[in-house]
Chain A
Amino acid sequence: MTSPTSSPTSAPTSGDVLVLGADLAGTGPGDLLIRDGRFADPRDAGPDAHRVDAYGLVALPGLVDLHTHLREPGREDAETVTTGTAAAARGGYTAVLAMANTSPVTDTAEAAEHLLDVGRSAGSAQVVPIGAVSKGLAGEELAELGLMARSSAATRVFSDDGHCVADARLMRRALEYVRAFDGVIAQHAQDPRLAGPDACCDEGPVSGRLGLPGWPAVAEAGIVARDVGLAELTRSRLHVCHVSTAETVDVLRWAKQRGIEVTAEVTPHHLLLTVDELLGYDPTYKVNPPLRSTEDVAAVRDALTDGTIDVVATDHAPHARHDKEHAFVDAASGMLGLETALAVVVETMVRPGSLGWHEVATRMSSVPAHIARLPGQGRPLTVGEPANLVLVDPTRRARVDRDASVSLSRNNPWHGRELPDPVVATWWAGRSTYGR
């Protein structure tokens, strides 16, 4: 995590690039030719193709993040499309789905198209707007879901993330409505009566001891239990954001056995950090849903291994420093994630042998792209496909330095930790967007 802005010495931004010898997503070594934004037959490489020695590295399809907060428009002091997608590229991502809780909220076709345009001109990765489920995220009336779906942004993922769609009838209608255009409702599962706005610590021994308002596991699992029932009733697609508890995992497992169309994500921080981080009241570790127990961490890892949890999504949530420098209960919730997500997945899932590289590619690229109905992302590394590619060094490690981040924000929970440092280079549609 040291030289974040260095342009790729090994990869020019145009012309043919021949990547030699990388393990192609766990299927064994092979070569890749990047030509005009797509993968071409390596045997067609001309003598002047730029050659990249990738022996010992792993090639994965560009990662797709289902859950990013870019903060633009509204909080450009915390992050912009430019810096957020630069962080994405640094983390191996070629597409990010941008949550709707900006200011103004992405709850109209115009807002979605505007963000799409900003992403096209400023982005180092594809920016895919997520539409709000309810107008202004207020949880009362449906936003113009169909108009967003018909817009040039072709919105398919809708979420009030940051807020739970708590009203059961509104949730039912949203699920029902988006079925017409194959949309999905991504739910931030938090029963506001059980875990209100002050709730900031996993309810358990630590919250009791620290005197912090508790956020009980049932506030998540209860909403998920209701919502999988609504998904079954409406025959529609539900996606559960940032699953944090063993109880929710059990509900998901049951729902999937029933054949309900539900998918779920886990964040890197819920794969590694526990509620014990809160003992010093450091708001860097304040996140919503909160960090949980070691038992919950084990449960979400197992669920990611067996597919009960389908994908890893970052919930990258940049915050200006001063918004984190309040008392714990008053400070902003959220932590950075894009640059370090793959590092944490390597640490928690690949190194222990729970996931192979093929499974990493599914959980961080092809499945999230499929959930979002994103054509051109998460595709196999084969001839004719868009050249979205990340090269990964499976062994390199480094100490995380928050000041080396290309994000505008510094709320980095990994600062000072030694973690894998896997991302070597990223190409989005054949264009080099990051290189060490």
Chain B
Amino acid sequence: MRHLLSAADLDVAEITEILDLGEEMALVQGRPVKKLPALRGRTVVNLFFEDSTRTRSSFELAGKWLSADVINISAKGSSVSKGESLRDTVLTVASMGVDALVIRHMASGAPLQAARWFAELGLGVHVLNAGDGTHEHPTQALLDAFTLRKHFRTQDPSRDGFAGRRIAVVGDITHSRVARSNVALLTTLGAQVVLVAPPTLLPAGVDGWPVEVRTDLDEVLGEVDAVMMLRVQRERMSGGYFPTPREYTVGYGLTRARLGLLRPDAAICHPGPMNRGLEISADAADSAGSLILDQVAAGVAVRMSVLYQLLGGADEGGALR
């Protein structure tokens, strides 16, 4: 794997390898001394054009626990307004001799463009997409799959994998990079994905996606093994996509009342940060079925796994075990 740009680029074997290695990384997380020498001497730069607390710190911890040198660069604000082109910004950082660039950008496609410019110039830097606009967030989908896989295995050790599992993704699908990456990853793994949203928040062309599309949440809840609630971005609340936050909650929020519609063993996920009381109630977020904190923990393990996959191959000298 040269880069991690899109969840759609991964096949079952690659996903399984990342998740399996993530399990081993999770063991490190539980140790008092959380340090592996695997990426000693390698440099990882978190280049964040957009604010992020959890993704950035998760990548930072992942790199540090693998002994990589990690620095964070905040390049907030569009490059247009600063007068520097995106190409100049990413080439400047890459030219410092870094091994991997973890890019978060408010514009869809920016990490893919960076990877193309590096290829044109023969630069060997690896690119990890840490969320690009409304396009993709592949490590989020990987950590979601990691969390759900573990949950499903605990529930029923005799049943393996995602085949036959139904997973609902609820909320602003149009503007969600989490939804796009999860649709790609979960369907590759064999799960059935059900997208639930008001029609104003369903993307153009969704009928061609390998998913089921529904607009009534109540009908769906009893049918699924897991429900993934998406964050409603503040700017959408006044964007005319739905009349009021109150109406959104009544239609699409995982309220206390709706908890009763879920099957008792169904899992509840949320990529964070949560708008408690809007798309998810406190009762749901803190319920027994909630995997929300497991997702956060999984984030570090999965990102360690991805960094190792990209940077620590045996040919590059970083033995894990």
Contacts and interface: CB of A to CB of B under 8 A. Distances in A.
A283 B86 CA distance: 12
B204 A328 contact: no
Given A208-B203, A210-B135, A326 B85 contact: yes
Interface residues of A, number: 24
Given A325-B86, A326-B86, A330-B78, A212 B108 contact: yes
Interface string B92-121: 000000000000010111101100100000
A326 B79 contact: yes
A206 B205 contact: yes
B76 interface: no
A198 to B, nearest CB: 10
A322 B208 contact: no
A328 B85 contact: no
B109 A208 contact: no
Interface in A191-225: 203-212, 214, 216
Contacts of B133: 211-212, 327, 329
A216 B204 CA distance: 10
Contacts of A323: 85
B205 A212 contact: no
A281 interface: yes
A46 interface: no
Interface string A319-346: 0001101111110000000000000000
A212 B205 CA distance: 12
B134 interface: yes
A214 B175 CA distance: 11
A280 interface: yes
Among B86, B88, B132, B177, chain A packs the most CB atoms within 10 A around the CB of: B86
B80 interface: yes
A214 B200 CA distance: 13
B8 to A, nearest CB: 9
Contacts of B79: 326-327, 330
B79, B105, B136, B203 — most chain A CB neighbours (10 Å): B203
A208 B88 CA distance: 28
B87 interface: yes
Interface on chain A toward B: helix, strand, loop, or mixed SS? helix
A323 B88 CA distance: 11
Interface in B110-152: 110, 112-113, 116, 132-136
Given A211-B134, A211-B180, A322-B85, A327 B107 contact: yes
A282 B86 CA distance: 13
A211 B204 contact: no
Contacts of A214: 204
Contact of A211 (B78, B86, B135, B206): B135
Given A325-B86, A327-B113, A330-B86, A210 B107 contact: no
A203 B204 contact: yes
A328 B108 contact: yes
B205 A209 contact: yes
Interface in B1-60: none
B180 to A, nearest CB: 6
Contacts of B206: 208
Contacts of A329: 107-108, 133
Contacts of A328: 107-110, 113
A208 B109 CA distance: 13
Given A325-B86, A329-B133, A330-B78, A208 B204 contact: yes
A281 B113 contact: yes
Nearest to B175: A211
A208 B203 CA distance: 5
Contacts of A203: 204
Interface string B72-87: 0000001110000111
B109 A281 contact: yes
Interface string A36-60: 0000000000000000000000000
Q: A203, A205, A280, A326 — which one has the most chain B CB atoms within 10 A of its CB?
A: A326
8 contacts: A208-B174, A212-B108, A282-B113, A326-B107, A327-B86, A327-B108, A328-B108, A330-B80
Interface of A: 203-212, 214, 216, 280-283, 322-323, 325-330
What are the 8 tightest A-B residue pairs by CB atom distance, in nearest-first order?
A: A281-B109, A205-B205, A327-B107, A208-B203, A211-B134, A211-B135, A325-B87, A208-B205
